[in-house]
Chains A and B, each alone.
Chain A
Amino acid sequence: MNFTSLTFLIFFALFFLIYWFIANRSLEMQNLFILLAGYVFYAWADYRLLSYLICVSALNFFLGIFIEQSQSSKRRRMFVGIGLLQGIGGLFIFKYLNFFIDSLKDAFSSLGIQLSFQTLNIVAPVGISFFTFRTISYLLDIDKGKIKAARDWVIFFNYVSFFPCVLSGPIDRAKNFIPQLANPRVFNYQQAVDGLRQILWGLFKKIVIADSCAQLTNLIFDQYQTLPASTLVVGPLLFTFQIYADFSGYSDIAIGLANLLGFRVTKNFAFPLFSQNIAEFWRRWHISLTSWLTEYVFTPLSIAFRDYGQWGLILSILINFLIIGIWHGPNWTYFLYGFVHGCFFIPLILRGTIGKSAKIAKGKMLPSFAEIMNVFMTMSLVMLTFILFRSENISDAYHYYGRLFSSSFFTVPIIPNGRNIILSVLPFLSIMLFVEWLQREKDHGLQIDGISYSFVRWVIYYSVFLSILQFNNEDIQFIYYKY
């Protein structure tokens, strides 16, 4: 059930009315209703592995209680270990085992040894990377004494499988989300209106920008061997807009849906296209994942390596980014993508500027020339690494880079069958960038409660909605759905 489909619209409209008018008689009923709806939603995406989601929730629910109740640190460690083993082990088996087997076979084959291992025919549960991170942080937080274990199974199961976020995040932390589930919800008009606005903006980014850019990036990446470098440079440029609009669009819809149900979900994007350096980019891009890794991977590692000074910090960053890379999927391209981004941090660490952040054009309408150059350099680096991210394998990426840095860079770009798409999407892309620039201090692009004339606001809503209808040709799945 794609967020952009009519099926989901009907599902959510019915859910919303029952949730606020019938199920609101008690908190327990409301929570149980969200859980049931969540399972219907999940089963729609992949009914075969709903049982896995339920088992994971049940196991982690009991582990949370056992960890809290354990008197000895040995027992606590054992229960935390079981949780980590289940979480990381589940991820490994479902997502990485075949990749591991293939890589091992390739490595031995290059030495002249043929291994007879067979890859397994397994399907990864949708959203496994997202809900696994939720359960791991839950257990670690209980272990550290940051939160209490949930005693109400419905609340905990909802935390793991809250349907707006179960498939592609944001990855909410238990300390933020569980208290919201435990407290009665009161309908908040402003929150609901803002939720609708954010959904509208998310749909605009997904349908108008991401899906249109996808048509061109697919063309370019599929035919890169026959295209000149001047065209190949358009591929990663458009893919940057596509993946941003796709994933931040999804996050906006998820956060907006949660707002309609009375929940505040972690922000996932903060206008990363206006970042002035790579560290700032990662503070603004997929925030819920990066902050999760900062808390549970980078910080413990940097403490462990603190005796090694800057090199310890560099090592921690590299490991952190390798995990970010490989989190996206079992492919060496993602591994290298993470590694390259980790390397981008080295100059910042050596110069001691990693933590520095200056808001772009603070208090001004336009950025300075230096700020424009910083954004240009940062986004150029990001764009170049997206070639790795988008390529099917390392060989494709290597050849793409090879063709990109060739003399045909100075020719006129040829975009096969793409002229019309470019002409139709370019004005909307400019609108998205312009709106996001204007709204860069806000939570999302359509947070327009500052406009006092309601007529103007409605004109904006209708304009955005009609442009969505113009581009809404078919359901195209969100990119991060596969992660």
Chain B
Amino acid sequence: MSRFLKKLTFLFIFPLLLFFACLEVMLRNIPNDYSFKRKWLDTNAKQIKLLVLGSSTGYYGVNPNFLSGKAFNAAHVYQNPKYDLFILEKFISSFDSLQYIILPVTYHSFFYSLETSEENWRTKNYYIHYGMKGNRFDPKLNLAFYDHSLLSILKRTFRYYIKGQDEINCNAPGFGTSYLLERRLPNWEGEGEIKAKVHSALFNQEDYSENLMMLERMAGLCKERRIKLIMVFAPAWDTYIEHIDTELLKLDLLKCEEISRKYGNVSFVNMLNDRRFTNDDFYDVNHLNEFGSKKFTLAIDSIMNSYPLTD
């Protein structure tokens, strides 16, 4: 028995543990959007006047460089209200100057929970980089290498430690910079039907209610702190809009308006079908490119200025 355990431990378990421990440390130290935004907020939260939250629509859609006042984009891909609320609550005591929160909303923003979505691997970023509290024994939440193929992990470490390429894909105020017009796929318009159907299929009543509850908690917290919450239904391309479930869309709009009415500090603007956004403004059917995001941000800026702060 002792021979078996010794061999197993020294020739297999120890080398592997060492290997994975090294990988874990190396992976955690590769700067990414989450670690970058966490660090930025740690040091600059006191100064910002505007905060952008939300999912990829916010991340790629609102460029704080075009907003009047010091702003930061804390949106992340697939970030739903649960994580928006987490970021807000985490830094609320530091947000001394915060006056506005901009929350771009999409057709499927409230349909899913990140934990059960296909992008659930992103949850660990909130635990590892933002210090979210959760099950300490769940490897999915606590280990950076978990749930990724070995080759992809090795590629990432090689890219950073050998080639010096980090994983930060946003600019200094947190805006995602990789959705460029020149990178747009040639048949992007054709994806509208499939994407709309995929997004409709994400709808889950429990998740929907949970997300709305989180949104209401955000609205309540903002009211308490005299922060104006501006929810903007982001523009999407015609081939996408044509195929979304109209009943679900109605429900979305109804709920957003309801929250807006219920909390005096919340405004809701629907720009889903906004004709100012043309073909050249989109990266894909439900995301804007660098030109569209500029237009979108400026539109938000003017909306913001038309909603002065009230008590």
On A, residues with C-beta under 8 Å from B are: 6, 20, 187, 189, 192-193, 196, 458, 461, 465-466, 469-474
Contacts known (A6-B139, A196-B8, A461-B12); A472 close to B3, Cβ less than 8 A:
no
B4 near A192 (CB under 8 angstroms)? yes
Q: For the complex, what is the distance from the CA of A159 to the CA of B11, rounded to whole Å?
A: 34
In the complex, whether B162 has a CB less than 8 A from a CB of chain A is: no
For residue B133, CB closer than 8 A to chain A, the reply is no
Q: Could you list 26 examples of A-B contacts with CB < 8 Å?
A: A6-B139, A6-B146, A20-B1, A187-B1, A187-B4, A189-B1, A189-B3, A189-B4, A192-B4, A193-B4, A196-B8, A458-B11, A461-B12, A465-B16, A466-B150, A469-B149, A469-B150, A470-B149, A470-B150, A470-B151, A471-B149, A472-B149, A473-B147, A473-B148, A473-B149, A474-B147
Please, how many angstroms separate the alpha-carbon atoms of A20 and B2 in the complex? 11
The distance in angstroms between the C-alpha atoms of A470 and B151, with both chains bound, is: 6
| Secondary structure class of chain B's binding surface, majority of residues | helix
CA distance in complex: A474, B3 (Å):
33
Whole-angstrom distance from the CB of B41 to the nearest CB of chain A? 31
B contact residues around A20 at 8 Å (CB) = 1
Give the shortest distance, in Å, between B216 (CB) and chain A (any CB). Answer: 33
CA of A461 to CA of B12 in the docked complex: distance in angstroms? 9
Q: Which residues of B contact A189 (CB under 8 A)?
A: 1, 3-4
A470 cross-chain contacts in B, Cβ below 8 A: 149-151
Docked complex: B100-134 residues within 8 A CB-CB of A: none
Residues on the B chain within 8 Å of A192, using CB: 4
Closest 8 CB pairs of A and B: A469-B150, A470-B150, A187-B1, A470-B149, A6-B139, A192-B4, A470-B151, A189-B4
- Closest partner residue, chain A, to B12 (CB atom): A461
* Residues of A close to B8: CB separation below 8 A: 196
Q: A residues within 8 A CB of B150? A: 466, 469-470
Residues on B with beta carbons closer than 8 Å to the beta carbon of A473: 147-149
Q: How many A-B residue pairs have CB under 8 A?
A: 26
Cβ–Cβ < 8 Å partners of B146 in chain A:
6
In the assembled complex, the CB of A229 is this many whole angstroms from the nearest CB of chain B, namely: 24
Count residues of chain B with CB under 8 A from any CB of chain A. 14
A126 to B148, CA, bound (A): 30
Name the residue among A20, A458, A469, A472 with the largest chain B CB count within 10 angstroms: A469
Q: Which chain A residues border B149 with CB–CB below 8 Å? A: 469-473
Which B residues fall within an 8 A CB radius of A? Answer: 1, 3-4, 8, 11-12, 16, 139, 146-151
Measured between C-beta atoms, what is the minimum distance from B119 to chain A in Å? 12
A193 cross-chain contacts in B, Cβ below 8 A: 4
Cα distance A466–B150 when bound, in Å? 7
The CA-CA distance from A466 to B149 in the complex, in Å, is 10
Report chain A residues within 8 Å CB of B148. Answer: 473
Interface centre among B4, B139, B147 (most CB of A within 10 A): B4
What separation, in Å, do the CA atoms of A20 and B1 have in the docked complex?
Answer: 9
In this complex, what residue of B is CB-closest to A191? B4
What distance in Å separates the Cβ of B23 from its nearest Cβ neighbour in chain A? Answer: 10
**Minimal beta-carbon separation of A206 from chain B (angstroms):** 16
In whole angstroms, what is the CA distance A461 to B139 when docked?
A: 24
| CB closest chain-B residue, reference A468 | B150
Chain B residues near A196: list those with CB within 8 A: 8
Which A residues are CB-close (under 8 A) to B139? 6
User: How far is the CB of A301 from the nearest CB of chain B, in Å?
Assistant: 47
- Chain A's nearest CB lies how many Å from the CB of B7? 8
Chain A residue nearest to B7 (CB atoms) is A193
Seed contacts A192-B4, A466-B150, A469-B149; 10 additional CB < 8 Å A-B pairs: A6-B146, A20-B1, A187-B4, A189-B1, A189-B3, A458-B11, A470-B150, A470-B151, A473-B147, A473-B148
Q: In the complex, which residues of chain B have a beta carbon less than 8 angstroms from the beta carbon of A461?
A: 12
Q: How far is the CB of A423 from chain B (nearest CB, A)?
A: 13
The CA of A6 and the CA of B143, in the complex, are separated in Å by 12
Rounded to whole Å, the gap between the CB of A262 and the closest CB of chain B is: 11
Query: Whole-angstrom distance from the CB of B29 to the nearest CB of chain A?
Result: 21
Q: For A469, what are the chain B residues with a Cβ–Cβ distance below 8 Å? A: 149-150
Cβ–Cβ < 8 Å partners of B151 in chain A = 470
CB nearest neighbor in B for A16: B5
Residue of A whose beta carbon sits closest to that of B3? A189
Least distance between A237 CB and chain B CB atoms (Å): 24
Instruction: Write the nearest CB–CB distance from A3 to chain B, whole angstroms.
Output: 16
Give A196 to B5 CA distance when docked, in angstroms.
Answer: 12
Q: How far is the CA of A472 from the CA of B20 in the complex (A)?
A: 14
Q: In the assembly, what is the distance between CA of A458 and CA of B4, in Å? A: 14
Q: In the complex, A466 Cα to B139 Cα: how many Å?
A: 19
Bound form: Cα–Cα A469–B1 in Å: 27
Given the complex of chains A and B, what is the CA–CA distance between A363 and B156 in angstroms? 48
Expressed in whole angstroms, the minimum distance between the Cβ of A252 and any Cβ of chain B is 18
**Which residues on B sit within 8 Å (CB–CB) of A6?**
139, 146
Q: Cα distance A461–B11 when bound, in Å?
A: 11
Chain A residues contacting B12 (CB-CB under 8 Å) are 461
A217 to chain B, nearest CB (A): 19
B8 to chain A: closest residue by CB: A196
Instruction: State A92–B66 Cα separation when bound (angstroms).
Output: 68
In the bound assembly, the distance between CA atoms of A469 and B11 in angstroms comes to 18
Q: Please, how many angstroms separate the alpha-carbon atoms of A192 and B3 in the complex?
A: 11
Q: Say how far A453's CB is from chain B's closest CB, in angstroms.
A: 14
Chain A residue with Cβ nearest B151: A470
| Smallest CB gap from A187: residue in B | B1
B121 → A minimal CB distance (Å): 9
User: Which residues on B sit within 8 Å (CB–CB) of A474?
Assistant: 147
Q: Provide the bound-state CA to CA distance between A420 and B161, in Å.
A: 27
C-alpha spacing A196/B7, complex, angstroms: 12
User: In whole Å, how far is B10's beta carbon from the nearest beta carbon of chain A?
Assistant: 12
Give A471 to B12 CA distance when docked, in angstroms.
19
Q: In the complex, A205 Cα to B147 Cα: how many Å? A: 18
**A330–B4 alpha-carbon span in the complex (Å):** 45
CA distance A458 to B10 in the complex (A): 12
| B126 CB to nearest chain A CB (Å) | 19
Smallest distance from the beta carbon of A471 to chain B beta carbons, Å? 7
Cβ–Cβ < 8 Å partners of B16 in chain A: 465
Can you name the residue of chain A whose Cβ is closest to the Cβ of B13? Answer: A13
The residue of chain A having its C-beta at the shortest distance from the C-beta of B146 within the complex is A6
Name the A residues within 8 Å of B147 (CB-CB): 473-474
CB distance from B163 to the nearest CB of A (A): 21
Expressed in whole angstroms, the minimum distance between the Cβ of B260 and any Cβ of chain A is 39
Residues of B within 8 A of A465 (CB): 16
